[in-house]
Structure 1
């Protein structure tokens, strides 16, 4: 039984503030392009999860610490704030809890998460758990992180030039050849187009000058 009655007003920002600046428990501002402003994360790992949300094409928008739920399960009262609410295309969404290692959490927290999972199933919501290995343990994550970090110089004017350049060049090519071409867009714009899929490459590989890059005209 849910006894939280307050409607979600997601434009107000996180409902839970973090005042304790302990190790792995401090505020990190993540510069989100999908949201158009920085997202207040409560750990470096939460900010790392944002990289995947920015990359996933089905993610339209996301919120940190979106709403505090209060409910009763088997006469036990619970209070819980998910780390993320992720909004997908066609109006679907899911909540996410982030922890470095769920096997090392207190049993009381694990019981609460299991109860919230059941509550989500009852209400027709989705709930996911993501640990450090799942978020940052792959080569692909580090490639995406580097692309996202380097693409901070992207802007619409540079992108217009890039689209014109893509149509003139012979494909495929290597990232090194692109970087060495004096007529090519700046590296930030190239990284932006790789991150967003306008330029295609095997992003499960490390980002090196030998990375093969391809482009095809959009049919949109």
Structure 2
């Protein structure tokens, strides 16, 4: 049967509302609400991380105590991997946040780190790591609308070829592989590229289970 990606209409990072960005998550098969572009970029990394099973935004607030007063704190993400669960706070730079927020984050970390679900921090330097991130983002956002038949044909053809071959060779005659299906195969680690180099037509596609750095 010819079926399409469950997020067929999600061909961009999402749409912008007054305060929110809606990220099309294939891993969760829903659109997730993010409060910034940086949070949406963090989702790209979670989608690419094979150890991540699922992740959630729009969490319930947690009560934390600061100087005998109770405050509400809401983490940005709850992430479930194959081995652990943890909360994540995303900020461009944790060195440049106001003292009130800093105190709240410190209190939340002290509290949550004593539980089975600790709190971790993710900043812009950790999220947007040069070409590695740019390539992942390009591959993800350009690999929607792939039908099951289209993807199976791409994977079957790749399996029959002697790799490495360049991107240009794979998408040109006589192979004419679907670019979006090939991008999905690379993002999902069915084949590999050197992620730390600019993705171009002459990029070599390897038969490997691990993305090369």
Specify the TM-score bucket, using the shorter chain as the normaliser: 0.7 to 0.9
Aligned to 2:12: none
TM-score (norm 1): 0.82
Identify if the C-alpha distance between structure 1 residues 216 and 75 changes in structure 2 by more than 3 Å, giving closer, same or farther: closer
State the 1:174 CA deviation: 1.2
- Larger relative helix fraction: 1
Give the alignment's TM-score, normalised by structure 2. Answer: 0.85
Q: Deviations over 1:36-75 (max 9, x none)?
A: 0111111111111100000000001110122210133551
2:160 counterpart (150, 161, 168): 168
SS at match of 1:54: helix
Task: Please state if 1:210 is matched with 2:191.
Answer: no
Q: For structure 1, which runs of at least 5 residues remain unmatched after alignment?
A: 1-19
- Alignment match, 2:38: 45
Unaligned ranges ≥5, structure 2: 1-16
Residues 1:78 and 2:56 are matched in the alignment: no
* 8 Å CA contact 1:165, 1:184 repeated in 2: no
RMSD over aligned Cα atoms:
1.7
Return the offset for 1:155: 2.5
Contact 2:64 2:104 in 1 (8 A): no
**CA gap 1:34/1:183 in 2 versus in 1, 3 angstroms:** same
Instruction: Say yes or no: does 1:193 pair with 2:193.
Output: no
Task: Measure the CA separation in 2 of the matches of 1:54 and 1:31.
Answer: 10
Q: Which residues in structure 2 correspond to 1:104-123 (within 5 Å)? A: 104-123=96-115
The verdict on how the C-alpha distance between 1:59 and 1:133 changes in structure 2, with shifts beyond 3 A counting, is: same
Greater relative CO, 1 or 2 (CA 8 Å, sep 6+): 2
Contact persistence 2:66–2:103 (CA under 8 A): no
In the alignment, is residue 34 of structure 1 matched against residue 34 of structure 2?
no
**Following superposition, which runs of at least 4 residues in structure 1 exceed 4 angstroms of deviation?**
none
Q: Distance in 1 between matches of 2:52 and 2:176?
A: 30
What is the match of residue 133 of structure 1? Answer: 125
Q: Is the 8 A contact 2:167 2:201 kept in 1?
A: yes
Q: Relative to 1, partners in 2 of residues 1:181 and 1:127: Cα closer, same or farther, differing over 3 Å? A: farther
1:134-149 matches, within 5 Å, as 134-149=126-141
Aligned length: 193
Query: SS of the counterpart of 1:65?
Result: coil
**Equivalent residue of 1:151, what SS?**
coil
Shift of 1:140: 0.6
